[in-house]
């Protein structure tokens, strides 16, 4: 009998008001049922908001350094349970253990970074233009934050949102992806164990169109942070615009690696293989395009094909596995549709393009690492986010053309250039239209203490991680203190007033 999990609302673990449940199954083996999770409804969201408001009243009054102490204990607990968390995450999401360990580590780094931020949260004291007057600003908590997260980083992305929001003194309601509800359940248990007041965190499981929508539309949730597809983000953006909500959007990508003719090809092949096929291509920063200089194009493709064909598919919890399954059948069917589109558009299938055979992969949503060559910039293969193990190779004749091809898509998350030239490296940093550019490294590899996010259809100007995220989760307040004992008028009395 599979375990039945609950929401965490009003300081207790409760069944959904709907009485309905969603099954959570291992994508590497659909026979493995992890558990039943709540298929909640708007009434559960309303209860969570009422409780989170009480949580906010209590938690926002705790001094920020003490809020940071709770996050430090969270970091300690994540560290102690790293292996168990990684195992649970691989079981429900599919990526290999090395990667889910990295996912937990990102949560640990985010916890310790947030803990130290509890002792910073800087404001400014600046000179006033008037005598005997102080002018300053500082940060205040905002209220209840609604957090909606995707499936591909089941733990790290929730921590990117929850930890800074909490250190800033807000309460949080998290609606994790219905595909990976277990990882966040384990995270909420850790937050409570670390001493977070129970009403400061609420966990409402369920589907996006019901629970996610109800959370975004609730008038008493002034802050929404969303990571997921650009299509869903656009819907959320419309609602938040109409309701005057503060909104952070982190969305899709179509990331490219540029390989110039002076590149270290060994390094580039390592980076592209990891960037394209790690997490089975299901990363917002996955390498989905290679923009190769014509002088090295054929050599590079030959080696990439060799490497792709050597990758071993299987259950991510087995040591020999390099690449796990896609998250579900709908994701695998989407990849198959794009393979058909690529062939119709006239691209050449260099390897992959189909489901693998064999008993080890028969019960899961596996797909062979796939490489297309002969891809041109306007093809859908080169423009649209596939979110699977499909790499498109485009051939260019110059660095300028490579920059144009990189920038000629609607997304702008990450990019990378492999070159030995300092001039090209710095030009890439300046000219590639992305939130993140790597030099001689793949398109993935963000660190928790740096800002993370993209431009164009990838984002809406905010960043996760690093210092800017603490700005997002706090409101700036300005105070003036005039101790001159008389009326002083800014601008009017500024010049000529005597002390």
- Site for ligand NAD, rule CB under 6 A: 148-152, 175, 177-178, 207-209, 212-213, 216, 227-229, 232, 235-236, 250-253, 284, 385, 387, 413, 454, 458
The residues that bridge with 313 in the sheet, in sequence order, are 323
d(CA 98, CA 109) in angstroms, rounded, equals 16
User: How far is it, in rounded angstroms, from Cα 186 to Cα 386?
Assistant: 30
Nearer to ligand NAD, 68 or 146 (CB): 146
Rounded distance, CA 452 to CA 433, Å? 14
Nearer to ligand NAD by Cβ, of 285 and 474: the residue is 285
Own/partner contacts of 487-490, CB < 8 Å, gap of 24 or more, are 488/130, 488/131, 488/132, 488/133, 490/129, 490/130
Active site residue 284: yes
Catalytic residue among 145, 168, 240, 284: 284
Shortest Å distance, C-beta 436 to ligand NAD = 10
In the complex, minimum distance from the CB of residue 231 to ligand NAD, in angstroms, rounded to a whole number: 7
Which is nearest to 247 in space by CA: 269, 262, 232?
A: 232
Kindly tell me which of 39 and 178 has the beta carbon lying closer to ligand NAD.
Answer: 178
- CA gap 358, 14 in Å, rounded: 42
> How would you list the strands of the sheet with 475-482, edge to edge?
124-127, 133-140, 475-482
Tell me the closest approach of the beta carbon of residue 52 to ligand NAD, in angstroms: 17
Task: Write the CA distances from 191 to 124, 162, 185, 187, 489, integer angstroms.
Answer: 31, 10, 10, 6, 49
Which of the following is catalytic: 92, 99, 199, 250? Answer: 250
Is 250 tagged catalytic?
yes
In angstroms, what is the minimal distance from the CB of 143 to ligand NAD?
A: 19
Q: Least distance in Å: CB of 327 to ligand NAD?
A: 7
Quick one: tokens of 153? Answer: 């980083």
Of 149 and 365, nearer to ligand NAD (C-beta) is 149
In this chain, which residue has its C-beta nearest to ligand NAD? 208
Distance from C-alpha of 44 to C-alpha of 20, rounded to nearest angstrom: 12
Q: Which is nearer to ligand NAD, 94 or 454 (CB)?
A: 454
- Residues designated catalytic: 250, 284
């Amino acid at each position: 009998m599979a375990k039945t999990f609950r929401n965490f609302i009003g300081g207790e673990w409760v069944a959904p008001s709907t009485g309905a449940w969603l099954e959570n199954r291992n994508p590497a083996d659909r026979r493995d049922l992890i558990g039943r999770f709540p298929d909640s409804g708007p009434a559960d969201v309303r209860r969570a908001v009422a409780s989170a408001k009480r949580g906010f009243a209590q938690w926002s009054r705790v001094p920020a350094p003490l809020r940071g102490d709770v996050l430090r204990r969270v970091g300690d607990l994540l560290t102690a349970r790293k292996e168990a968390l990684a195992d649970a995450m691989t079981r429900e999401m599919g990526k290999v253990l090395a990667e889910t360990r990295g996912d937990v580590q990102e949560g640990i780094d985010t916890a310790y970074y947030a803990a130290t931020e509890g002792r910073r949260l800087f404001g400014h004291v600046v000179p006033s233009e008037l005598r005997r007057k102080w002018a300053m600003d500082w940060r205040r908590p905002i209220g209840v934050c609604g957090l909606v997260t995707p499936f591909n980083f089941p733990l790290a992305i929730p921590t990117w949102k929850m930890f800074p929001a909490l250190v800033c003194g807000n309460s949080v309601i998290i609606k994790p992806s219905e595909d990976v509800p277990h990882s966040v359940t384990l995270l909420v248990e850790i937050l409570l164990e670390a001493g977070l007041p129970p009403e400061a965190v609420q966990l409402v499981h369920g589907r996006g169109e019901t629970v996610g929508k109800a959370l975004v539309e609730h008038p008493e949730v002034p802050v929404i942070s969303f990571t997921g597809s650009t299509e869903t983000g656009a819907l959320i953006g419309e609602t938040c615009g109409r309701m005057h909500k503060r909104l952070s959007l982190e969305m899709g990508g179509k990331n490219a690696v540029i390989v110039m003719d002076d590149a270290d090809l060994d390094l580039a092949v390592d980076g592209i293989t990891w960037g394209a096929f790690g997490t089975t291509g299901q990363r917002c920063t996955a390498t989905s395009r290679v923009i190769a200089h014509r002088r090295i194009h054929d050599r590079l493709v030959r080696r990439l094909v060799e490497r792709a064909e050597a990758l071993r598919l299987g259950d991510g919890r087995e040591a020999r596995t390099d690449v796990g399954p896609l998250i579900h059948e709908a994701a695998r069917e989407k990849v198959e549709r794009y393979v058909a589109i690529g062939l119709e558009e006239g691209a050449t299938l260099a390897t992959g393009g189909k489901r693998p055979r064999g008993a080890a992969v028969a019960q899961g949503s596996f797909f062979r690492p796939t490489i297309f060559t002969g891809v041109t910039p306007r093809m859908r293969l080169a423009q649209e986010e596939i979110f699977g193990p499909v790499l498109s190779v485009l051939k260019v004749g110059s660095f300028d053309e490579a920059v144009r091809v990189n920038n000629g898509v609607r997304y702008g998350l990450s990019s990378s250039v492999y070159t030995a030239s300092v001039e090209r490296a710095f030009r890439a940093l300046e000219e590639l239209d992305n939130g993140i550019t790597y030099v001689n490294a793949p398109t993935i590899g963000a660190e928790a203490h740096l800002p993370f996010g993209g431009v164009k259809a990838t984002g809406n100007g905010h960043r996760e991680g690093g210092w800017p995220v603490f700005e997002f989760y706090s409101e700036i307040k300005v105070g003036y203190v005039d101790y001159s004992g008389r009326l002083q008028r800014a601008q009017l009395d500024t010049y000529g007033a005597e002390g």
